[in-house]
Chains A and B, each alone.
Chain A
């Protein structure tokens, strides 16, 4: 990392060469803070500066923000880096740059710095650096590379996700044997025949797989399952049909779709673990779910999607809030599936505050504690239970209240039973031993 460009205070009038130098140095700092200020963007930044009074602070600010940022999440970081870089005192220019670099890494740490929280505005260079390296070790410990067994399991999950998924009609049409008359193709055929009328061509609406949204709880109570669930999410994100978005819930919301797009599971897991700031922290499901719905869900990510919540439903915040947000979610999504690792435990009843409040708004409650259960879940996500009528199921749950819901997932685990039925109904080419979500001996 070369941050020598920052040695000169950029708020003094600059010569052309210095301008380029500062711009490049500024971009370096931004990159370290997590803004993707790529070279072509820097070029655009410089180009914009030539059209604006470059000594004007506001002009430089806006030129940089317009060209170097690409996401509302970038704007905060940009503001921070801009303030540090251009308003920093000359003597501290270098260390300011460093600190921003470390703050970028620190903002994604799992443990608060010994000397203060990551948002602490006055940490010294030394503590931050030490803290950052400690985190590095922690991560190495947390995320072990997959062994052969786990890879095989992952491959099986992947194969399950190769199922076509639940379909929705799109507005695009494609040629079909029957349907409505495809005027354009008919006329084109006539044109080719020199204007002679020929047989009619038909088309029908195309279908596309519904998007899938996974909300993975990475709070402390889920620590035993989070790795497996994230691997599951990785398999889901790599499915070839349809779009998959993955978010993690804990004390805050993190979008990890990008991180999971690596093909190699080890690389993806490392990227994810470094992106999640609230690993094994508390659970504020209601707040993070609201965050998801406000920022993504209601705008379109959850609309018409199959939403899977992977959580134990232990909520430290207000349970009523969680219920209200689940209601919102269920109104947006096509289907809400809740996978709870604790469902399979003997004597489980969804009485834990969060789970009980959410259950009326879930279309399905399935178990999520073992590989077999995850495979079943994958099949559920891929649409094997599409025949489960959402409306009737929900009405049943609402009508019966908590007791009926308790029976539903009680001894026989009706949710999983329907998964099994659906898997059979889907008639996929899976080996019979893969379709045993109900009665598998568990690890």
Chain B
């Protein structure tokens, strides 16, 4: 895309009349959209691992299909299981920018798609007036067509503020992360539906914006409410679960290379035990990493009852959960599990 535009610029420098608009390029074949070396989900999983994300079979397959077939990926799961992180890593793998749209109650088109920069438009109008352009720009034009021209100028691309979805379409190939879509209202889902099915945005004053390659869209939801079925139907649906023991140890080790194998195993054992405890908010992978970080900061190379109690606030964020964990007397449990697991 950038190559072509620079060529156009050169061509315009040589020949005075503007170059004809570039012919629409046919969408590239699926294989062209993938970086080298990725031919199947397993290949993608390897690349994700190189970038520090350990995906299981399901997530790797989902991401692979989303990449190849350009269908949005809908990730649902408990908080802190790595739904958002996968978007960043996928962006790194395909070397594309990550554009994030955080949803919240009340989000609307002007915050998600585009907005006109009214202050700049007024400024432009004023400066045109100050320069006395309406009469001086071209003596052949009558006042009415000069006004029309000025108005057309006002709705130029440079006065358009691109919000995340438009940014993603303009910068494609890109990765568009629509985070916590369940926080937005139903009306916003309808808007997404329109954009995600066509991958175009129609701006009445400017025309339709159509990317050469649709962006890779990842939607995440914490399931605070049921997202409408029509939206899910356009996506690959994947429920992200807590990782198993070995995978979680590997995640800790890969995200924090300085952490010893033993400490990682102990922390993960403790976290997995906590997850089975019927807590109000079972800790996710994010909490495992936070905890490990806290332990490392305290210079602990082992998880014993004392240091665990002191750092419990980085894993459990409810008073009831913390009390419960304190009663559990984790030290011996961790020790036993580590011995048993090793």
Q: Nearest-CB distance from B81 to chain A (Å)?
A: 13
Q: How many whole Å from A163's CB to the nearest CB in chain B?
A: 21
Q: Which residue of B lies closest to A295 (CB)?
A: B223
B71, B104, B125, B236 — most chain A CB neighbours (10 Å): B236
Q: How far is the CB of A33 from chain B (nearest CB, A)?
A: 17
The reply to whether A170 and B106 form a contact with Cβ atoms under 8 Å apart is yes
Is B106 a contact partner of A171 (Cβ separation < 8 A)?
yes
Residue pair A190, B122 in contact (C-beta under 8 Å):
yes
Contact A191 B122 (CB under 8 A): yes
Contacts of A53 in B (CB 8 A): 40
Interface range on chain B (Cβ under 8 Å from partner): 35 or more
B149 in the interface (beta carbon within 8 A): no
Interface window among A44-52, A228-236, A389-397, A429-437: A44-52
The reply to whether A63 and B125 contact each other, CB–CB distance below 8 Å, is: no
State the CA gap A163–B105 with chains docked (Å). 23
Q: In the complex, are the beta carbons of B41 and A170 less than 8 A apart?
A: no
Query: In terms of DSSP, what is the predominant structure of the interface of chain B?
Result: helix
The answer for the CA separation of A62 and B225 in the assembled complex, in Å, is 25
Count of chain A residues with Cβ under 8 Å from any Cβ of B? 41
B245 within 8 Å of A (CB atoms): no
B68 an interface residue at 8 Å Cβ cutoff? yes
Asked if A298 and B280 sit within 8 Å, CB to CB, the answer is: yes
CB <8 Å contact, A300 and B182: yes
What's the nearest-Cβ distance from chain A to residue B106, in Å?
A: 3
CB atoms of B125 and A191 under 8 A apart: yes
Q: How far is the CA of A403 from the CA of B237 in the complex (A)?
A: 52
Instruction: Establish whether residues B125 and A66, one from each chain, have CB atoms under 8 Å apart when the complex forms.
Output: no
Shortest Cβ distance from A72 into B: residue? B239
A66, B236: Cβ atoms under 8 Å?
yes
Contacts A52-B61, A172-B106, A301-B224 given: A191-B121 contact, CB under 8 Å? yes
B229-265 contact mask (Cβ, 8 Å, vs A): 1 or 0: 1001100111100000000000000000000000000
Q: Is B30 on the interface with A (CB-CB < 8 A)?
A: yes
Quick one: given A75-B239, A195-B125, are A36 and B229 in contact (CB under 8 Å)?
Answer: yes
Could you tell me if B40 and A184 are in contact, using CB atoms closer than 8 angstroms?
Answer: no
A66 touches B121 (CB 8 A): no
Q: Does B126 sit at the interface, judged by CB under 8 A?
A: yes
**How long is the Cα–Cα vector from A72 to B224 in the complex, in angstroms?**
13
CB within 8 Å for A187 and B122 given contacts A62-B62, A172-B106: yes
Q: In the complex, what residue of chain A is closest to B279 when comparing beta carbons? A: A294
Check A80 for interface membership: any CB of B closer than 8 A. Answer: no
B189 interface hit (Cβ, 8 Å): no
Q: How far is the CA of A183 from the CA of B65 in the complex (A)?
A: 44
Q: Hey, which chain A residues are within 8 Å of B232, CB to CB?
A: 70
**For residues 61 through 86 of chain B, which have their beta carbon under 8 Å from a beta carbon of chain A?**
61-62, 64-65, 68-69, 71, 76
A243–B125 Cα distance when bound, in Å, is 45
Say yes or no: A62 contacts B57, CB within 8 Å: yes
Contact of B293 with A by CB under 8 A: no
B110's nearest neighbour on chain A, judged by CB, is A184
Assess whether A38 is interfacial by the CB under 8 Å rule: yes
Chain A residues within 8 Å of B64, by CB? 51-52
Point out the residues of chain B lying under 8 angstroms from A171, CB to CB: 104-106
Cβ–Cβ < 8 Å partners of B58 in chain A: 62, 65-66
A interface residues with partner B (beta carbon < 8 Å): 36, 38, 40-41, 44, 47-48, 51-53, 58-59, 62-63, 65-67, 69-72, 75, 170-172, 183-184, 187-188, 190-191, 194-195, 243, 257, 298-301, 303, 328
Query: A-B pairs with the 10 shortest C-beta distances?
Result: A300-B224, A171-B106, A62-B61, A187-B118, A172-B106, A66-B236, A299-B224, A70-B232, A195-B125, A170-B106
- Given contact pairs A66-B65, A187-B119, a sample of 19 additional A-B residue pairs in the complex whose CB atoms are under 8 Å apart: A40-B233, A41-B233, A47-B69, A51-B30, A52-B41, A52-B61, A58-B57, A63-B65, A66-B58, A66-B236, A69-B237, A70-B237, A171-B105, A172-B106, A191-B122, A195-B122, A195-B126, A299-B223, A300-B182
